[in-house]
Amino acid sequence: MRVTISSFPNGLVNQLGDLASRQARLQNQAATGQRIQNSSDDPNAVRQVMEKQTESRTIDQYKSNIAAQRDLGNVSYGVLKGIKGVSDKAGEIAVSANGVNSQTDLNGYADQVDQLISQVVDLMNTSFNGSYVYAGTLDQKKPYEVTRDADGHPTAVVYTGNANLRESEIAPGTTLSAGAVGSNDTGVGPSGVITDTRSGADFFNHLINMAQNLRSGDKAAVNTVDVANLKKDEENIIYQYGLNGATQSRLESSDSAHSDRHSALEAQVSGAVDADLAQTLVNLNETQNAYKAALQSAGTIMNMSLLDYLH
List domains and CATH numbers for the chain: 52-266 (1.20.1330.10)
pLDDT at position 101: 87
Three-state DSSP class for residue 138: coil
Asked whether the beta carbons of 205 and 81 are under 8 A apart, the reply is: no
> Which one-letter DSSP state was computed for residue 53?
H
Q: How far apart are CA 257 and CA 241, in angstroms?
A: 25
pLDDT at position 16: 57
Asked whether the beta carbons of 149 and 218 are under 8 A apart, the reply is: no
Residues near 120 by Cβ (< 8 Å), separated by ≥ 6?
83, 86, 194, 203, 204, 207
E-state strands within the chain: 127-128, 131-132, 144-148, 154-159, 168-171, 174-176, 181-184, 192-196, 201-202
Ordered DSSP codes for 227-245: HHHHHHHHHHHHHHHHHHH
> Which one-letter DSSP state was computed for residue 174?
E
Helix 43-97 / helix 103-124 crossing angle, nearest 10 deg? 170
pLDDT at position 141: 96
pLDDT, one tens digit for every residue, the chain (311 residues):
455 555 556 555 665 565 555 555 545 554 555 556 665 556 776 677 778 888 899 999 999 999 999 999 999 999 999 999 999 999 999 999 988 889 999 999 999 999 999 999 999 999 999 999 999 999 999 999 999 999 999 999 999 999 999 999 999 999 999 999 999 999 999 999 999 999 999 999 999 999 999 999 999 999 999 999 999 999 999 999 999 999 999 999 999 999 999 888 887 776 666 544 444 444 455 555 555 666 666 666 556 544 454 55
